[in-house]
Amino acid sequence: MSGPDAAHRRPEGVDDATVEALGKLSEALEAAEVARGHLYAFHRLSGTTDLTLGDAVDLLRDAGHGELADRIETELVGRNVIPGRWTFQIVEAYDDGYYATFKELERQAREELAEGRRHLYEAEMKEDRRTHGRPGHEATPDEL
């Protein structure tokens, strides 16, 4: 049978409005995933910044600029990026709070409304937009 695989077919009795709402919820989760990726990038870049700053302090000291090196070291190296927090603490707070809650509620919505199936909206969009029977437009990898 051509079309979405069983995991991406709308369960019996699920209406268009529900599929659309779950699609929008999934779209919002995808945006949160991107935000999380940027947060991790911020975490990595901030760590690199601090380590590189430490190298700069050493080089300034070696070049005879001890007073400036000392000031940078005491005022900036190891400093919190926001009051009371390094970036790992920001990442953990996001992951354990907002992100975990979002993932759980999105999963619960899919379980309650669509037997846990993911990406129904996208699967139906693919089915609508693809050219049936055309190479490169297969419904699933099994049709290759």
Percent helix / strand / coil, the chain, rounded to 5: 70, 0, 30
Q: Which residues contact 128 (CB under 8 A, 6 or more apart)?
A: none
- The amino acid sitting at 17 is A
At residue 1, the pLDDT reads: 59
- DSSP three-state, residue 82: strand
At residue 144, the pLDDT reads: 81
- The amino acid sitting at 60 is L
At residue 138, the pLDDT reads: 93
User: Among positive and negative, which fits the CA dihedral 5, 16, 132, 122?
Assistant: negative
At residue 61, the pLDDT reads: 98
d(CA 79, CA 44): 15
Whether 81 contacts 90, CB under 8 Å: yes
pLDDT tens by residue, the chain, 144 residues:
578 999 999 999 999 999 999 999 999 999 999 999 999 999 999 999 999 999 999 999 999 999 999 999 999 999 999 999 999 999 999 999 999 999 999 999 999 999 999 999 999 999 999 999 999 999 999 888
Nearest to 9 by CA among 143, 144, 135, 116: 116
CB atoms within 10 A of CB 91: 18
At residue 143, the pLDDT reads: 84
At residue 94, the pLDDT reads: 98
Tokens of 54: 């430490």
In eight-state DSSP terms, residue 141 is G
